[in-house]
Chains A and B, each alone.
Chain A
Amino acid sequence: QQPVQSPQAVILREGEDAVINCSSSKALYSVHWYRQKHGEAPVFLMILLKGGEQKGHEKISASFNEKKQQSSLYLTASQLSYSGTYFCGTRATYSGAGSYQLTFGKGTKLSVIP
C-alpha cells in the first residue's frame, strides 16, 4: 500500500524551513528519501531504519517514528537548489516475499523562490 505524503506541494522563500511527512498504514522496516528535479532522475538522500533513528545530510535531516509508522523530512534554511519533488519510499517487512520492495509515495513538490 502506497505511503501518504503531505503536503502535496509547498512554496518557500529562500532561508525558510519546511517539513515533509510520509505516513504508512503498514509496520515499516525502513524509509528511503529521494529528490527528483524536473527532467532528471531521482537522487538518493538518506535511509532511516527501524529503531527511530534520525539522520542528516547537509541541511536536510529526517526522523522515523516507529510507533506512528511515519517519517518526516526536515529542510532548514532552504536554498534554491532544494527545489524539486521529494519522494519517500517505504519497505514494509524485514523478511519474506516482497520484503525488499520499495513502495513510493506520490511525492511532495517543493518550490524555493528568491
Chain B
Amino acid sequence: KAGVTQTPRYLIKTRGQQVTLSCSPISGHRSVSWYQQTPGQGLQFLFEYFSETQRNKGNFPGRFSGRQFSNSRSEMNVSTLELGDSALYLCASSLRQGAEQYFGPGTRLTVT
C-alpha cells in the first residue's frame, strides 16, 4: 500500500500571502489529522477530518482552515501568512478515529 503523500514538500512564501497544502491518505483511511511541528514545540494539533467533516480543532487562529473531500484527500489553507507560521506541516491518516496514525513526509513551509 502506498503511504501518506503530501504536496508540495517545500514551499517559500512571503508574509501576507496564503498557501494551500495537500494530503492524500493511505487508501481506505477515512480520518486525516494535521499537525504543525516547530523546533522545541513538538507536534501541535491543528484539526482532524473524518467523512468530510471537521471533527476536532486545535488552538490555532481562524487563518488556519482545512477541508476533506469525498475521496478522503485533505487540504489545509493558511491565509495572511506570518513569519511564525514557518514550520513543518504534517498530515496523518488513520483507518478510523482514535486509531494509530500514519504520517506523511510533511510540507516544509518557510515564510519570509
Contacts and interface: CB of A to CB of B under 8 A. Distances in A.
Interface string B32-66: 01010000111111001010000110100000000
A103 interface: yes
Contact of A104 (B31, B42, B48): B42
Interface in B82-108: 90, 92, 97-106
Interface of B: 4, 31, 33, 35, 40-45, 48, 50, 55-56, 58, 90, 92, 97-106
Interface of A: 2, 30, 32, 34, 40-44, 47, 87, 89, 91, 97-107
Which of A30, A89, A101 counts the most B-chain CB atoms under 10 A from its CB? Answer: A101
B101 A44 contact: yes
Classify the interface of chain B: helix, strand, loop or mixed.
Answer: strand
Given A41-B106, A101-B48, A102-B33, A2 B42 contact: yes
Nearest to A40: B105
A30 B98 contact: yes
Contact of A107 (B42, B50, B56, B101): B42
A41 B33 CA distance: 14
Contacts of B56: 97-98, 100-101
